[in-house]
């Protein structure tokens, strides 16, 4: 049954207005290979795959399957040609069952257009058995954990006889353990004859599973590499200059504890306890990183501290004063700096100028305010100095903030929040969707703030970032604090904690796993592995 | 990755990590228990303590039935006390559940509504000058009045399930009513009028679809504008064309009432199910067909996917905007048929604003019925009942001023939409235009 398929992309160009998202990209996916597209966020990987999947029409270039040019007018055509795609944001209808989601668009019917879901259930079972998925065809998708939802997506593609499976940033939402399982599934699919296009910016995973690596930067193919290439080599190809993947930071010198959270509970409108009885503290001159898979209460935790959540119980003490129950403005005045997780939604006003965005918190205070008016000159003056200090790449501070790249937008937010004297600094997903160059800069600023003697709280779903910045690591799972562990705790233990195991259980399970497994060689540096978390080989 | 570190070192105790909060912090929504308790008290005071001392009589057979069922006689005062105590009991149970942080089961508010309506009815009839009412007639009349509401809310279901909010139901009903009247008058054939009504409703919908789907204009605004437009247009045509020559343009023949032999003589349900106009039968068929279509067929699966997660549908090769366009158009046709009820069934001529805001009540029925055709049907029936009660009560002469009774349908609407039957969840993409990429 194995019909192998060779896929070629020749000179694919895609333009959005003046933006050149893909510039004459050539990629050849050999049959039965895992081909990785490596590139930073915004490099044009997803655009390329949406072209391949028929969602975008290419401005120029052609797609060849087994040497024959094809044109896709929509995803239907691509699927018919044997191409399946698992999107970064799952394309599943939450209120449908697994079977309904899998059937959708390729429904088996009885006479008269009536659905025949039994047929679909049988196929789901077949595929689940073959790859060892544990998926109930009649479960509602919204009730399933993300890892399982991803399997449903894979089943969806396999049911449609996909010979080439595109996985777009598939590990972004997974725990490290789920990620490892996914990599196994990919290998299994490969041995079953399915080619895989694996899109990622995470070097560790790319090296672990790829047969060929194509590196894309700013819409262009900048080269190919073998999976044996070193992480530094791959990183510099991806970024375009040599980057240091490890952050040189001094060990923390914690002083007195000034920030304390006690028994914090946040209740969502649905009645769910999204943050459930959490207690922790942060000392001055220390970074506490909050790790966890997305959606385990991190957002609500930071919002509760800032005063953005309505139903909060417990206590939040900064310098001995209660923050709970105070307005956001009062919390900010108490010296809290806050970088929200989604800068476009909560961090910036895209249509306002950079200069205005830089004083969103201080616009009503001297020197920016004058009576009921504002002083535009002071605002611009302030902008000029911030732009210099934070290396914001823009020709002028009066440009709209929305025109900046992700990294520079994040620098604007960070510059604003760090411009006040702080007693507490909270940064949520400080480098999400930010280019590697800016990541370095932002990380250094965060560490500098710590060294100034500010308690710092980082929330990140990227384990690499957590391990890089943290002096202590708190892991959240389903709104509960699984535990707080020191920096240097291994990636595997953290991963197990992110799946809900207590620190002790996680350490046990991890040791047991290593005793019995052969595929992991010894690592030269036990606990200092940072940016890429150590190499697999 | 084989860093063998290291059980987490001691010295980082987390007292809060394993604690589970007591129930004091549990969320409690008091909306439903409070609403029920308040209504229960109202019932107790008015229907019970201040209840009338007559015997209410309910006829449940009509003249042509197979066999005559006896008239039900209820002592109004006693019944008022008993039923209102039942209501308070139900409310109390809801309060009890809430203190236990449990959800109020769905049957509870529904049972409450039913008992409340019965108590209200007994109180109303018991206090009338002639405490005698034909229950069969009351219910049959409710169904009749509910016909345009049901069609309207089905139109809403078809549109919202696919992701387009249809505020223009009122305009579609009105357009259908007008077109049915004028076409049936000219052709002297009410069936042609019926067909024309569907076309007119669909045309109103096409405008909605075009502007909201293709040109991404805010759906609510287009809907509201369409209502005003249709109202103005039909009003203008009425005064310039219809009133100039009513003989020619505004005297449609009515659609016949079709009696299904034997079946229509079953007491109570006979007249409801088997003594209807063509539009009435179409209503039953439409409810069932839309329900089966939405939940049992390939078409329905795709429609619902488009309304819930259009991106997902698109990636599976389903044409989102085309699906939306045709569904909205179909919805308009359904509402148009409902509009023909006004001029081909209820009375035999068109007047300005003949739909009288029923399109908006239909919208409420849609929400009350949780975007489900069958739910919407029963919700529409409740509103039709309130509407009918108003007219009947005026006839038998009750202590309640008829103006208050006239408010009843709207009061019921407000209470219903305020969430008497719990929180309802609209299709996730309803009201959001789909733009590719």
A447-505: pLDDT as tens digits: 999 999 999 999 998 888 999 999 999 999 999 999 999 998 998 899 899 988 898 88
Higher pLDDT, B216 or A513: B216
Exposed e or buried b per residue across A139-176, where buried means at least 16 C-beta atoms within 10 angstroms of its C-beta:
eebeebebbbbbbbbbbbbbbbebbbbbbbbbbbbbbb
Same domain? B79 vs B177: no
**Does residue B339 belong to any structural domain of this protein?**
yes
pLDDT classification of B188: cutoffs 50, 70, 90:
very high
Give B8's contacts in chain A (Cβ within 8 Å). 483, 485-486, 489, 493, 503-504, 507
End residue of a domain, out of B101, B127, B153: B127
Residues B343 and B317 in one domain: yes
Same domain? B184 vs B105: no
Instruction: State how far residue B100 is from chain A, nearest Cα, in angstroms.
Output: 14
Please give the DSSP secondary-structure letter assigned to residue A522: P
**Average of per-residue pLDDT across A326-341:** 93
Whole-angstrom CA distances from B50 to A231, A362, B74, B98, B120 are: 85, 63, 16, 30, 12
pLDDT at B424: 65
- Digit-coded pLDDT (tens) for B229-277: 999 999 999 999 999 999 999 999 999 988 888 888 887 788 788 888 9
Which residues in chain A are closer than 8 Å to B2, comparing Cβ atoms?
514, 520-523
Whether residue B46 is contained in a domain is answered as yes
Residue of chain B with shortest Cα separation from A511? B4
Per-residue b or e along B237-247, where b marks 16 or more CB atoms closer than 10 Å to that residue's CB: bbeeebeeeee
pLDDT of residue B4: 38
- The token duo for A451 is 């060294």
Domains of chain A and CATH, by start: 7-239 (3.40.50.300), 247-335+421-537 (3.40.50.300)
What percentage of residues in chain B have a pLDDT greater than 90? 48
Residue-wise pLDDT tens digits, A105-160:
888 888 888 999 999 999 999 999 988 888 999 999 988 888 899 999 999 999 99
**What ipTM does this complex have?**
0.81
Mean pLDDT of chain B: 85
- Residues B134-143 have a mean pLDDT of 85
Question: Sign of the CA dihedral B263, B267, B273, B278?
Answer: positive
**Interchain proximity B19–A262, CB inside 8 Å:** no
Q: Which residue of B has its CA nearest to A495?
A: B1
Confidence of residue A306 (pLDDT cuts 50, 70, 90): very high
Nearest to B5 among A101, A267, A488 (CB): A488
**Is A482 an interface residue toward B (CB < 8 Å)?**
yes
**pLDDT at A523 (0 to 100):** 39
Question: Strand B55-59 and strand B132-134: pairing?
Answer: parallel
B116 and B151 inside one domain: no
pLDDT of B13 above 80: no
Compare CB distances from A481 to B17, B305, B312 and report the shortest one's residue. Answer: B17
Structural domain range at position B209: 140-373
Reported as half-sphere exposure (CB side, CA atoms, 13 A), residue A144 has a value of 25
Q: Supply the pLDDT for residue B84.
A: 92
pLDDT at B421: 53
Structural domain contains residue B7: no
Q: Are residues B61 and B185 in the same domain?
A: no
Q: Where among B373, B404, B422 does a domain terminate?
A: B373
B185 lies in some domain: yes
Q: What is the pLDDT of residue B199?
A: 98
Tell whether B296 is within 8 A of chain A (Cβ).
yes
For residue A501, the distance in angstroms to the closest alpha carbon of chain B comes to 12
Banded pLDDT at B423 (limits 50, 70, 90): low
B386 within domain boundaries: no
Residue A284, both tokens:
């001055």
Q: Which of B26, B298, B305 sits opposite A113 (nearest CB)?
A: B298
pLDDT at res. B28:
52
Nearest to A285 by CA among A451, A171, A137, A140: A451
Mean pLDDT of B90-107: 84
Cβ neighbours around B317 below 10 Å, total: 19
Could you give the residue ranges of the DSSP H alpha helices within A132-287? 146-159, 176-191, 203-209, 231-239
Is B168 within a domain?
yes
pTM of the model: 0.79
Residue B307, in any domain of the structure: yes
Q: Put the strands of the sheet holding A19-29 in their side by side order.
A: A19-29, A7-16, A60-65, A68-70
Give the total number of structural domains in chain B. 2
Q: Are residues B323 and B260 in the same domain?
A: yes
In a domain, B22, yes or no: no
The three-class DSSP label of residue B282 is: helix
Residues of A in contact with B428 (CB under 8 A): 94-95
Domain check: are B335 and B221 in the same one? Answer: yes
* CA–CA distances in Å: residue A257 to residues A473, B23, B101: 16, 31, 38
B435 touches chain A (CB under 8 A): no
Nearest by CB to A276, from B5, B21, B27: name it: B21
**B151 and B113 inside one domain:** no
Percent of chain A with pLDDT over 70: 95
Under 8 Å between Cβ of A388 and A419: no
Same domain, residue pair B175 and B58:
no
Does residue A516 surpass a pLDDT of 70? no
Asked if residue B88 and residue B58 are part of one domain, the reply reads yes
Mean pLDDT lowest among A24-38, A87-101, A200-214, B3-17:
B3-17
Which of B358, B373, B388 is where one domain is finished?
A: B373
Does B82 lie in the same domain as B164? no
A15 forms bridges with which residues in the sheet? A20
CA count, 13 A, side-chain hemisphere, A351: 0
Residues B303, B157 within the same domain:
yes
Q: Are the C-beta atoms of residues A284 and A454 closer than 8 Å to each other? A: yes
Residues of A in contact with B17 (CB under 8 A): 277-279, 480-483
pLDDT reported for residue B27: 46
Give how far Cα B313 sits from Cα of A56, A101, A359, B91, Å: 15, 10, 43, 43
DSSP string computed for B297-320: BHHHHHHHHHHH-HHHHHHTT--H
Would the pLDDT of B186 be above 90?
yes
Cα gap B197→B21, rounded to integer Å: 60
Q: In what order do the strands lie in the sheet with A321-322?
A: A273-283, A257-267, A312-318, A321-322
Residue B341 clears pLDDT 90, i.e. is over it: yes
């Amino acid at each position: 049954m194995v019909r192998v398929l060779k896929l070629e992309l020749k000179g694919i160009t895609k333009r959005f207005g003046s933006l050149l998202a893909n510039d004459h990209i050539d990629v050849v996916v050999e049959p039965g290979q895992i081909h990785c597209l490596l590139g930073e966020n915004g490099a044009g990987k997803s655009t390329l795959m949406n072209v391949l999947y028929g969602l975008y029409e290419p401005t120029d270039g052609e797609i060849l399957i087994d040497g024959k040019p094809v044109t896709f007018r929509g995803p239907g055509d691509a699927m018919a040609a044997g191409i399946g795609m698992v999107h970064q944001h799952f394309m599943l209808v939450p209120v449908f069952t697994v079977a309904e989601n899998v059937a959708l668009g390729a429904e088996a019917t009885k006479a008269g257009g009536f659905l025949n879901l039994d047929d679909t259930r049988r196929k789901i079972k077949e595929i689940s058995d073959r790859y060892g998925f544990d998926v109930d065809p009649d479960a509602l998708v919204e009730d399933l954990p993300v890892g399982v939802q991803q399997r449903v997506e894979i089943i969806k593609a396999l049911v449609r006889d996909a010979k080439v499976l595109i996985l777009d940033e598939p590990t972004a939402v997974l725990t490290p353990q789920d990620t490892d399982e996914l990599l196994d599934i990919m290998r299994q699919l490969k041995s079953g004859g399915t080619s895989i296009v694996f899109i990622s910016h995470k070097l560790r995973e790319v090296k672990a599973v790829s047969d060929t690596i194509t590196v894309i930067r700013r819409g262009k193919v900048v080269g190919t590499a073998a999976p044996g290439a070193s992480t530094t080599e791959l990183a510099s190809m991806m970024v375009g200059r040599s980057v240091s993947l490890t952050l040189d930071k001094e060990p923390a010198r914690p002083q007195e504890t000034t920030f304390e959270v006690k028994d914090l509970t946040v209740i969502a409108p649905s009645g769910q306890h999204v943050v459930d009885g959490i207690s922790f503290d942060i000392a001055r001159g220390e970074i506490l990183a909050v790790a966890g898979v997305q959606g385990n209460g991190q957002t609500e935790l930071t919002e509760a501290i800032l005063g953005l959540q309505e139903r909060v119980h417990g206590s939040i003490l900064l310098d001995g004063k209660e923050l709970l129950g105070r307005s956001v403005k009062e919390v900010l005045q108490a010296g809290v700096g806050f970088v929200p997780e989604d800068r476009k939604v909560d961090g910036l006003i895209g249509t306002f100028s950079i200069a205005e965005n830089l004083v969103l918190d201080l616009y009503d205070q001297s020197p920016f305010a004058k009576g009921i008016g504002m002083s535009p000159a002071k605002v611009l003056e302030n902008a000029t100095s911030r732009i210099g200090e934070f290396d914001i790449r823009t020709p002028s501070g009066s440009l709209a903030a929305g025109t900046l790249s992700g990294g520079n937008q994040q620098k604007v937010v960070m510059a604003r929040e760090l411009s006040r004297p702080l007693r507490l600094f909270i940064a949520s997903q400080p480098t999400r969707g930010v280019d590697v160059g800016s990541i370095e800069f932002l990380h250094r600023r965060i560490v500098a703030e710590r060294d100034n003697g500010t308690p710092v709280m980082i929330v990140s779903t990227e384990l690499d970032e957590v391990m890089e910045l943290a002096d202590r690591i708190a892991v959240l799972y389903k709104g509960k604090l699984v535990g707080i562990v020191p920096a240097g705790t291994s990636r595997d233990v953290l991963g197990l904690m992110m799946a809900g195991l207590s620190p002790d259980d996680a350490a046990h399970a991890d040791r047991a796993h290593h005793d019995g497994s052969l595929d992991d060689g010894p690592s030269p540096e036990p606990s200092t592995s940072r940016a890429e978390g150590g190499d697999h080989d | 990755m084989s860093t063998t570190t290291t059980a987490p070192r001691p010295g980082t105790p987390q007292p809060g990590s394993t604690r589970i909060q007591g129930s004091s912090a549990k969320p409690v929504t008091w909306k439903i228990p409070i609403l029920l308790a308040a209504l229960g008290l109202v019932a107790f005071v008015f229907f019970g303590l201040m209840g009338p001392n007559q015997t209410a009589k309910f006829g449940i057979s009509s003249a042509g039935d197979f066999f005559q069922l006896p008239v039900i006689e209820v002592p109004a005062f006693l019944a008022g006390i008993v039923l209102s105590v039942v209501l308070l009991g139900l409310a109390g149970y809801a309060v009890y559940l809430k203190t236990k942080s449990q959800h109020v089961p769905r049957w509870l508010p529904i049972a409450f509504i039913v008992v409340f309506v019965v108590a209200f009815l007994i109180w109303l009839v018991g206090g009338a000058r002639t405490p005698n009412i034909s229950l069969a007639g009351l219910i049959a009349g409710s169904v009749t009045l509910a016909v345009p509401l049901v069609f309207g809310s089905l139109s809403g279901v078809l549109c919202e399930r696919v992701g387009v909010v249809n505020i223009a139901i009122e305009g579609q009903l009105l357009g259908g009513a007008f077109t049915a009247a004028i076409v049936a008058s000219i052709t002297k054939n009410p069936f042609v009028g019926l067909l024309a009504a569907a076309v007119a409703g669909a045309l109103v919908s096409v405008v909605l679809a075009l502007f909201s789907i293709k040109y991404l204009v805010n759906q609510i605004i287009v809907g509201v504008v369409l209502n005003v437009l249709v109202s103005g247009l039909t009003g203008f045509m009425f005064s310039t064309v219809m009133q100039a020559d009513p003989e020619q343009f505004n005297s449609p023949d009515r659609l016949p009432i079709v009696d299904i032999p034997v079946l229509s003589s079953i007491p109570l349900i006979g007249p409801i199910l088997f003594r209807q106009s063509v539009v009435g039968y179409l209503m039953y068929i439409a409810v069932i067909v839309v329900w089966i279509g939405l939940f049992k067929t390939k078409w329905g699966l795709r429609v619902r996917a488009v309304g819930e997660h259009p991106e997902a549908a698109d990636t599976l090769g389903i044409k989102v905007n085309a699906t939306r366009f045709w569904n909205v158009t179909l919805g308009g046709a359904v509402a148009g048929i409902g509009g023909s009820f006004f001029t081909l069934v209820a009375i035999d001529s068109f007047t300005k604003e003949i739909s009288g805001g029923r399109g908006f009540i239909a919208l409420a029925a849609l929400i009350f019925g949780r975007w489900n055709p069958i739910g919407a049907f029963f919700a529409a029936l409740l509103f039709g009942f309130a509407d009918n009660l108003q007219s009947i009560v005026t006839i038998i002469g009750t202590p309640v001023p008829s103006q208050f009774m006239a408010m009843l349908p709207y009061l019921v609407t407000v209470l219903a939409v305020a969430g008497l039957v719990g929180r309802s969840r609209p299709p996730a993409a309803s009201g959001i235009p789909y733009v590719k990429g």
